[in-house]
């Protein structure tokens, strides 16, 4: 079997008395776009930060691109790109300068950095605005620049934490198209979102998390069938209670 892109087993993360991840299990297969869907405070950002090796877990095991985040964080970091819920664009630099700087930080020589920046600007439709200061960009353009910055190094896995939150509908659609383009180039994507429509639009597989645990997962159509209608699933501990439960529900 091919190695999983992400394999999370029983992840636990506590912040003081608050438990952000409470035994989270999740697997992403290669070639998959996975959406982690959940309400505010469900643990989405905490999970993304764990995958990005940005926090210390209190329990469980987490492997990314075959590497253990605890024992092999350097290897994990080389395999991933991260674009945040809060864009990390430097406003006092132009779009092109932002991207070239990131490429240089990844260790690319100046000439390679210039070429990667130009490639990303082209891919995201920012070439015409490349030499304007990022502070003059719209919210959608900044997000694209932020997304582009995570791609100058062609990561195997791209992490997108709520990539379209706060964008207007048009910018949202443009960003979706940009993400489609990456997927066509063969980048695996893990994204978080609070919106079912976004998860459906972008992902082949969805995991719904709530209070730090995975509560349902599957392809969008299957999940909608299971949770979309007004279906109430009731499990009884003892078969003998079935009649009483049925009667109670019929009331």
Ligand X SMILES: Nc1ncnc2c1ncn2[C@@H]1O[C@H](COP(=O)(O)OP(=O)(O)OP(=O)(O)O)[C@@H](O)[C@H]1O
DSSP per residue, 57-103: -SEEEEEETTEETTT-HHHHHHHEEEE-SS----TTSBHHHHHHHHH
Considering the rule CB under 5 A, would residue 45 count as an interface residue with Mg ion?
Answer: yes
- The nearest distance, CB 165 to ligand X, in angstroms, is 8
- CA atoms of 187 and 201, how far apart (whole Å): 17
- The window from 11-19, 36-44, 117-125, 236-244 that contacts Mg ion (CB under 5 A) reads 36-44
Is residue 213 a contact residue for ligand X (CB under 6 A)? no
For the bound state, the minimum distance from the C-beta of residue 22 to ligand X, rounded and expressed in Å, comes to 10
- Work out whether 121 is an interface residue with ligand X (CB under 6 A): no
Distance of closest approach, residue 249 Cβ to ligand X, in angstroms: 32
- Contact between 38 and ligand X by CB under 6 A: the answer reads yes
Q: Say if residues 21 and 41 touch (Cβ distance below 8 Å).
A: no
Give the residue with the Cβ less far from Mg ion, 48 or 103. 48
For the chain, the farthest-separated pair of C-alpha atoms sits apart, in whole angstroms, at: 74
- For position 40 contacting ligand X by CB under 6 A, the verdict is yes
Residue 17 in contact with ligand X, rule: CB under 6 A: no
Q: Strands, DSSP E only, in 122-248?
A: 157-161, 188-193, 205-210, 213-218
193 binds Mg ion (CB under 5 A): no
Give the three-class secondary structure for 203. Answer: coil
Among positions 20, 147, 191, 207, the unique one binding ligand X when judged by CB under 6 A = 20
State which residue, 56 or 251, has the beta carbon closest to ligand X: 56
CB 157 within 8 A of CB 176: no
103: phi then psi, degrees, rounded to nearest 5: -60, -40
Sites of contact with ligand X (CB under 6 A):
15, 18, 20, 38, 40-46, 194
């Amino acid at each position: 079997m091919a190695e999983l892109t992400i394999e999370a087993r029983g992840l636990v993360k506590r912040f003081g008395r608050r438990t952000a991840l409470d035994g989270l299990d999740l697997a992403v297969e290669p070639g998959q776009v996975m959406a982690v869907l959940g309400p505010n405070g469900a643990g989405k950002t905490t999970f993304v930060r764990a995958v990005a090796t940005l926090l210390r877990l209190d329990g469980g095991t987490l492997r990314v691109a075959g590497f253990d985040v605890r024992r092999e964080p350097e290897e994990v970091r080389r395999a991933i790109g991260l674009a945040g819920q809060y864009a990390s664009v430097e406003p006092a630099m132009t779009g092109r300068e932002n991207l070239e700087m990131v490429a240089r930080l990844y260790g690319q020589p100046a000439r390679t950095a210039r070429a990667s920046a130009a490639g990303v600007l082209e891919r995201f439709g920012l070439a015409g605005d490349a030499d304007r200061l990022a502070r003059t960009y719209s919210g959608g353009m900044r997000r694209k620049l932020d997304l582009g910055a995570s791609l100058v190094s062609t990561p195997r896995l791209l992490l997108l934490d709520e990539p379209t939150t706060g964008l207007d509908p048009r910018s949202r659609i443009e960003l979706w198209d940009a993400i489609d383009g990456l997927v066509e180039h063969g980048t695996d994507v893990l994204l978080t979102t609070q919106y079912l429509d976004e998860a459906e639009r972008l992902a082949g597989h969805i995991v719904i998390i709530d209070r730090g645990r995975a509560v349902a997962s599957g392809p969008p159509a299957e999940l909608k069938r299971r949770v979309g209608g007004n279906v109430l699933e009731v499990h009884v501990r003892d078969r003998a209670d079935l009649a009483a439960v049925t009667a109670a529900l019929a009331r």
